[in-house]
Every structure is written in structure tokens, then in C-alpha cells.
A and B are shown apart, each in its own frame.
Chain A
Amino acid sequence: MSEIKIVNLRKQFGDFVAVEDSSFTVNDGQFLALLGPSGCGKTTTLRMIAGLELPTSGKIYLDSEDVTFNRASARDIAFVFQLFALYPHMNVRKNIGFPLLSQRVPETEIRARVEETAKLLRIDHILDRSVSGLAGGDRQRVALGRAIIRRPKCFLMDEPLGTLDAEFREVMVHELRELHNRIHATTVYVTHDQHEAMAMADKIAVMNHGVIEQFGTPQEIYNRPASMYVADFIGSPPMNFMRFHSGLERGTRSVLLDGIEVPVPEVAEDVPPGELALGVRPEHIRFSDTSRLRGAVYGSEYLGTNQIVAVETASGIVKARVSADRSFRLGETVGLEFNPAKLAVFDCASGRAIASTYAEARHG
């Protein structure tokens, strides 16, 4: 197992820049999720690491060896494709053993290792079946088997759960993470599904238009989004933005929202006047009759354990996640109170999060 280091990686297709000067490191045994919408460059990044695509510029190191222009077959990596790419003319056993065949491993050893791998993935009972008749989950396990049998330096997975139905996806998320805990393989996992990324990854890189917007642990990404894009992409419903016009001074501990003072974590930089947005997650909103920040209930969604209540305020619609016990009438006036420690302020023009003590403390 090993470390993957990406330095200033860039990929252009004609005039289109798919990946723009990305740099990051995946430590040995780490599980990194590349998260973003389709077309954000996450798959291209993964394919460059795999050697299926050559970068326009930049370097890729595997275990500090420069593999940027090595052939895919010479990189000792495994790749799990979205559509599994199981060879249809081979049965399960042959599919799993295929990578070993290329290394001229003796037949008896291939057999033993295929069975060992199949046991690990609990597919030893279907080894002699044809792959075309398999259910989605079993296909997925066979694809994983083919990937892990070689004990490669790292695993690359391109939306491997994308074609499974929702119920089964959850099962596979657990299985994948459990597998990772057992074999500790360095993994890069591409997904557009924030839940998968949050549930499995040690580190998440959120990508947008070929740029890595933020690289951090799931907690950092969720609690302290580095940009409005990340804040909006992660979380369901996403973070609320309440726009206001103001400048900020270093050390400020509150912002003025439509004339109402709202406490925020201490601002750690000077911000020239401009349009700003106060970011607040739905679960950090409480209803309070004493609060001066008021709005009218616009609608609610009942989710069983809790409910999402949309409130129309002077600064736009705000969605709050509150207990499901209380029921609201449409148009009812409510007061909103935010958890001050969890708030973030963004510069609307650049989308960047404004530095605060909270962010400093977390990011060092």
C-alpha cells in the first residue's frame, strides 16, 4: 500500500479545461473521496491517476515514484468501473483471476487466491457462474474481487455504486468501508453522492469546474465549508445563505442582518464593503419567540424524526431542521435563533469563506 501525490495536475481537451492545476496527497491507507457534480473533473482526475488519460501538465507520484507517463499496466493499481466492466465472456472465477494471469502467477496459486478473495467478499458460492446473470450487488463484489486480488498499491473507484438501487447502495457503502478497514488500501473514490463520500471517506476533495474547492475531513467540509459552492453542495437541505451588504473588520463578533445584530465567530480578517452572505445550516436554527429575527412560515416537509420548515425572512427563505413534534401553520410568524459558533460568513463576489476564529482553530 502506498501514498498518492498529485502535483499541479492539469488536463485540457482542446479548449476545455477538465482539471485545473490540482494538487493533493492521499496518505498511505487513506480513503479519499473526490466529490462533485458531473463534469467537474473528478473522473478525469481519477483516470489520470490510473493512467487511462495522460495529463496536459503536472505530476503524479505513487510511493514517490513518478508515474505520470507510465502505462496503466505498469502502475500496479486497481480500478473499479461504474459499470463494473466484468468481462462477459468469462465466468466469475476467471474474471477475478484475470489480473493474476497477466503476472504469470501459477494456476494453483491463482485458484487459491481467487477462493480466498471470494470468501472475503462472500461470493465463493457463485464462482462458477456466468457474470451476465449476476445481480447488481454481486457484480459489484466481483469487480471488487478483481481489484483486490492483486493486492495493488492503491484502489481507484469511479462511482462504483452509481448503478445500484438506493437500498442496496447503503449496504454496499458499509461493505466497502468495512473492507477498507480490513485491508487498509489507499483508495480514491469518485462520487457525486455526498452521503457516500461522508459515510466512507477519511478525506474529501470537493471539485467544481476542474478546481478542488476544498480538501479536508468530512467534518471540516461540512462544518467549515471553504466556499459557498461547497456549503451549497454538501448537506441536505444545503446551507442557507442570508445575503447582506457590509464591510467587516478583524475582530468583529457580529454582523448586521437587515438591522438586526447576529453574533458570529470572531472575524479574522478585514473585509472591504461588499455583498456578503451569512451561512447557516438548517440544523443550527432554533425557533425562539424572543428573537428579533422573524419570518413567516412558508412551508414544511415532514421527515419522520424531524421536519424541514421553510421560513420567509427579510433576507430570503431560510430552511430550518427542527423537531417533528411541533406543527406549523402556513404564514405563522416565528422568531429564528442561530447557533453562533456554527455560523460562517462568505464573500458573495468570490464565494470564499471569510476567515474566522472557528476556522483558524480547526484548520490551524
Chain B
Amino acid sequence: MSSVNTTAHSVVEPTPTAKRIAGAIVILYALVTMVPLAWIFLTSIKSPPDSISYPPKIVFTPTLEGYCNLFTTRTRQTPDYIQSLPRPTGTCDEITRGRNMVIAGRSNYWPRFGNSLLIAFGSTFLAVSLGTLAAYGFSRFRVPLADDLLFFILSTRMMPPIAVAIPIYLMYRQFGLSDTALGMILLYTAVNVSLAVWLLKGFIDEIPREYEEAAMIDGYTRLQAFRKVVLPQATTGIAATAIFCLIFAWNEYAFAVLLTSGSAQTAPPFIPTIIGEGGQDWPAVAAGTTIFLVPILVFTIVLRKQLLRGITFGAVRK
């Protein structure tokens, strides 16, 4: 009994089985990478005792205690004093009193989070703007020593940025840039601009010159042609580059620890400091991390389409 399968099949289109296997691998990979994130989120809604219980608890009563502790500073009081207070005004008030504490004020989390937003988006904007202009220049004009310059720009990425931490620290102290948002924006821009130039040059090289030439003949100056014809076609590349720059600036820890401590401190160095306040408050740390992930998530989802097309670096652009 032998039967020959005569169904026509494409040689380029994957077979259903291959697709299922590929799908399974992707899902498995996603699950593996999602486990730490899920764990962080679960920890953020555990009570402090649940968060350190062993074996770890999968089933527990969720609580907002971690978030309350993240947003507030608290002081320990005697039960008698707490009894004498008027009724609690909110959930956090109630949870805190349950631990024999009262809310003393707001924590620094939101200001630090705000710093992160300002510095990360500010430096991304600057790096991408400068990178786009530089990449356009390298792509379209005969720049003297262009190859050497491009190599030089790339070479700034050839060692870990932290290797130059001490000189930068001294320099920043000299210029009064230590612990300022401007200083951090400039620093992250400097690190990111090389990446931006290289990525964007690839994208702009792919845009035929004829478009700008057509626009210039149609009566526009080069800058107008750049704005009206080149930029709209480079959006994919710009979006992809922006995401890379933003992720770096948003997550950067080492320089932030070294150069910021007060008013310009970003969220990454701030979050670990929560541990110190009154025991190891893992739910609060987890809550801080969870919220910290949101902007990148939103930004990436918003630019998902551009990112997917852009991350192939022009391979599928037609």
C-alpha cells in the first residue's frame, strides 16, 4: 500500500507543519523571556512576607502594599498613637497603619521617573535629530575623509562607555554638569549619536537621490526637499533608531549612578535605594520596576509597525 502525495506545494512557502513548529518555538521563547517579567509583576502585588516566603507562592492574596510603599515614605508609630488618629483616608493609609506605620509624605519615585522621561526622551530626540542630519550629509555629499569620519564615529562604541566614566565624572564636575538633566541628556546623546548615524545612513542610502533631485527641480531648496521628501520616507528608519536610542537611555544605570544622586537622578539608580528603607521591601522594588517598564512598552507598541519593517534594515523595503 503506497500512496503518492500529489498535492502541489510551493517550494518557498513553509509547509503547515513547519509553520506550527516555528510557532511553537516562538511561543516557547516568548514564555521563557516573559517569566522574569511576570515574576516581577506578581511580586509587586504580593505582601512583603509573601514575597520572601519559601517555597515561592504562586497563589496569594494580591495587595497594593508594594505600590503604596513605592509612592510614600512612612514612619513607625506606637499602636496607641495610631489608634488615636482619625479614620484612614485611603487604601494606602489603611495598609500602612496595619503595619504600625503612618504615611509621612511622598517618595521620590515620581520625580525620578519624571527625570528618566525627560532625559531619555530628550537625548533620544537629540541623538536622532543629529543622527539624521549627519547621516543625510554622509549619504548625499562628498564629505572629505568620510570613511575615516564614519569609522571614528563608530569607534566611540568599541569600548564600553563606562570605561570613560572617570574622565567624564571629572569633566562634569568641572563644568557643573554633575547631577543635572542637561548633563545626562548630553551624555546619552553623545553615546547614542554614533548608533543613530550608522543606522540612519543605511536607511537614507536606500532612498533614491532622484526623489530629492525631483523636488529640487520642482522648485524646492535642498532643505525643503529633505523635509518634504526624504524625512517622510525615512520614518521607518527613524522610528527604529529612536527605539534603540530610547531603550539605551531609559535603561542606562552605570553613568546614572555615578553622575546623578539628587535632583537629576533617574529611576534606574533610584529603584534599588528603596530596598534600604525599612527592611528589604521587594514588592516596592518590583512595583517600581513594573511601572518603569510601561513607557518603553507603550513606545514600542506605538512604533511597532515601523520597528518591524525597520529592524530588517531595509531588506524588505521596495
Contacts and interface: CB of A to CB of B under 8 A. Distances in A.
Our verdict on whether A and B bind, yes or no, reads yes
Contact of B213 (A79, A102, A150): A79
Contacts of A103: 219
Main secondary structure of the interface of A (DSSP, over half): loop
Interface stretch (A69-77, A178-186, A332-340): A69-77
A52 B218 contact: no
Contact of B217 (A73, A83, A89): A73
B234 to A, nearest CB: 10
Contact of B219 (A73, A83, A87, A88): A73
A256 interface: no
Contacts of A50: 213, 217
A89 B232 contact: yes
A102 B210 CA distance: 18
A102 B211 CA distance: 15
B204 to A, nearest CB: 15
B280 interface: no
B75 interface: no
B91 to A, nearest CB: 50
What size tier do the contact residues of chain A reach?
Answer: 20 to 34
Nearest to A84: B210
A99 interface: yes
Interface string A123-160: 00000000000000000000000100010000000000
B233 interface: yes
Given A88-B233, A89-B233, A102-B224, A52 B211 contact: no
Contacts of A75: 217
Nearest to A88: B233
B221 interface: yes
A78 interface: yes
A81 B213 contact: yes
A85 interface: yes
B208 interface: yes
A226 B314 CA distance: 49
Which of B210, B211, B217, B229 has its CB near the most chain A CB atoms (within 10 A)? B217
A89 B235 CA distance: 11
Contacts of B215: 87, 98
A87 B233 CA distance: 9
B214 A73 contact: no
Given A73-B221, A83-B210, A85-B210, A52 B216 contact: yes
* Residue of B208, B210, B219 with highest tally of chain A CB at under 10 A: B219
Contacts of B211: 85, 87
Among B208, B211, B216: residue with most chain A CB under 10 A: B216
Interface string B218-247: 111100100001001100000000000000
A255 to B, nearest CB: 50
Nearest to A52: B213
A102 B220 contact: yes
Contacts of B224: 102
Number of chain B interface residues as a range: 10 to 19
Interface string A60-96: 0000000000011101011101010101110000000
A75 B219 CA distance: 8
A200 to B, nearest CB: 21
Contacts of A51: 216-217
Contacts of B218: 73, 78, 98-99, 102, 146, 150
A327 to B, nearest CB: 47
B176 to A, nearest CB: 45
Contacts of B233: 88-89
A73 B221 CA distance: 7
Contacts of A85: 208, 210-211, 213-214
A113 B232 CA distance: 25
B221 to A, nearest CB: 6
B230 to A, nearest CB: 10
Given A72-B213, A87-B229, A102 B208 contact: no
A28 to B, nearest CB: 20
Interface string A103-134: 10000000000000000000000000000000
Contacts of B229: 87
A163 B214 CA distance: 18
B214 A71 contact: no
Nearest to A146: B218
Nearest to A53: B213
B208 A72 contact: no
A47 to B, nearest CB: 8
B217 A78 contact: yes
A85 B214 CA distance: 7
B208 A83 contact: yes
A73 B220 contact: yes
Nearest to B231: A89
B210 A71 contact: no
Contacts of A72: 213, 216-217
- Residue among B208, B218, B221 with max Cβ neighbours from chain A (10 Å): B218
A229 B211 CA distance: 35
Interface in A214-248: none
Interface string A171-196: 00000000000000000000000000
13 contacts: A72-B213, A73-B220, A79-B217, A81-B214, A83-B208, A83-B210, A85-B210, A85-B213, A87-B211, A87-B229, A89-B233, A99-B219, A102-B220
Minimum-distance CB pairs A-B, first 4: A102-B219, A85-B210, A99-B218, A85-B214
Given A52-B213, A87-B214, 13 more contacts: A72-B217, A78-B217, A79-B213, A81-B214, A83-B208, A83-B210, A85-B211, A85-B213, A87-B215, A87-B229, A98-B218, A102-B220, A150-B218
Interface of B: 208, 210-211, 213-221, 224, 229, 232-233
